[in-house]
Structure 1
Amino acid sequence: MKLATAAFACTLLALALVGCGSQDRATIGNSVLKGIELGDDRISLHGGRDVAVITKQGDLSIGGKAVALNPAQRSQAQRLYANAVGVRDDGIAIGKAGAAIAGKAVSETIEGMVKGDPGAVGDKMDAEANNIAQQAQRLCKRVVEMRAAQDALVETLPAFKPFATLDRGSVTDCNA
């Protein structure tokens, strides 16, 4: 049942990572991915008083002003965008899977008690929990990719530094 406990913890992480707003907007915001908002085919990164916006196409604006990017910078911006969307989508999937496993665990436990075998639920839930743990690992890989894209963009575009909120701790927190 250790996997079930781990899966539950991953589900809580996923739910904390993604706070759902309307259908086309979501905020990724806890200690791991603070200040990143997704919506309308763009991500908004909050840094101080200004906001940096990256579109799906890799266009970048800071404080409402377009920033000219070279092809490498555009590629990093697109990578950052794609992984942020992936984190959101993975978080939602993990949250849904966690809710489903919780409901199934209750149902299986009641069924086991009725049949006189309440311990039978453990093996079934471990298999479900293992699937959630794999989804959580994929989510954390996306966080690592986001950080790499962010750091590469900061290295070639210092104006992006205030919006680089992912630090080493962000990656460590996700993998914990």
Structure 2
Amino acid sequence: MTSRLLLPTLLLCLPLAACGNPDAGKAAPAAGQPAGRTAAAVDADSIGKTVQEATDKARKELAQGNISISGSNDAKAEITPQGDLLIDGTTVPTDANQRKLLLDYRRQVEALAGAGMNIGVAGANLGVKAAGEALKGIFSGDTQGIEERVNAESSKIEAEAKRLCTLLPEMMARQQALAAALPAFKPYATMDQSDIDDCGK
């Protein structure tokens, strides 16, 4: 997964993982309970568990696997958990300082990805919250305050998004430092100020 596409992919995958099982979230029919209500019922615990499992798996793969990085050429580049730079499967020779910079950059990518996962989880929770509040309003006849309660959940997404944006300047600084120290990495130092400026939008 490329560092440039890492976050959009995570944001798409995590909420979808919660919805991947069409039977997940359906409550067992109770005696005398309307069939429509059973089909529409949302099991927050089941969805939350699915999302958490997907998140844990993604974090583990990110920490233990190679991180692919996109660049201005077609050569595939990866950074290993040990701080090696691989280009088309070949290890690029590095000294101690270059390896340290590679590890610093990798940790920043992991932090950015972690923030993206948190947004994905918050998005899934928001969906559950919104569905639950809507159903509660429909069957109770009390629709007052639904928007306020859902907005309270959506504020968590906004907070996580702001945190993600604060990580970008440091990521660009580490990317530029690595490119300056390791010429083989220069084609993969594609981040620029517009990435930071556009984040808040």
- TM-score, length of structure 1 as denominator length: 0.69
Alignment pair present for 1:42 and 2:34: no
2:109 corresponds in structure 1 to 84
Q: CA deviation at 1:17?
A: 4.3
Deviations 1:82-106 (A, max 9, x none): 2222333332332222122122112
Task: Provide the aligned C-alpha RMSD in A.
Answer: 2.9
**Structure 1: segments with no counterpart, 5+ residues:** 1-13, 27-37
Larger radius of gyration: 2
Could you tell me whether the CA contact under 8 Å between 2:101 and 2:177 is conserved in 1? yes
- Equivalent residue in structure 2 for 1:160, among 182, 185, 190: 185
Deviation at 1:40, TM superposition (A): 5.0
* Cα displacement (A) at 1:54: 1.0
- 1:171 corresponds to 2:196: yes
Identify the structure with the greater strand proportion.
Answer: 1
Q: Does the CA contact (< 8 Å) of 1:110 and 1:118 recur in 2? A: no
Residue identity in the other structure for 2:143: P
Distance 1:88 1:44 in 2: 13
Matched, 1:120 2:145: yes
Unaligned ranges ≥5, structure 2 = 1-5, 14-53
Show structure 1 runs of 4+ deviating over 6 A. 23-26
SS in 2 for 1:58: coil
In the superposition, the TM-score normalised over structure 2's length comes to: 0.62
Q: Which amino acid aligns with 1:57?
A: Q
Query: C-alpha displacement at 1:162, in angstroms?
Result: 0.8
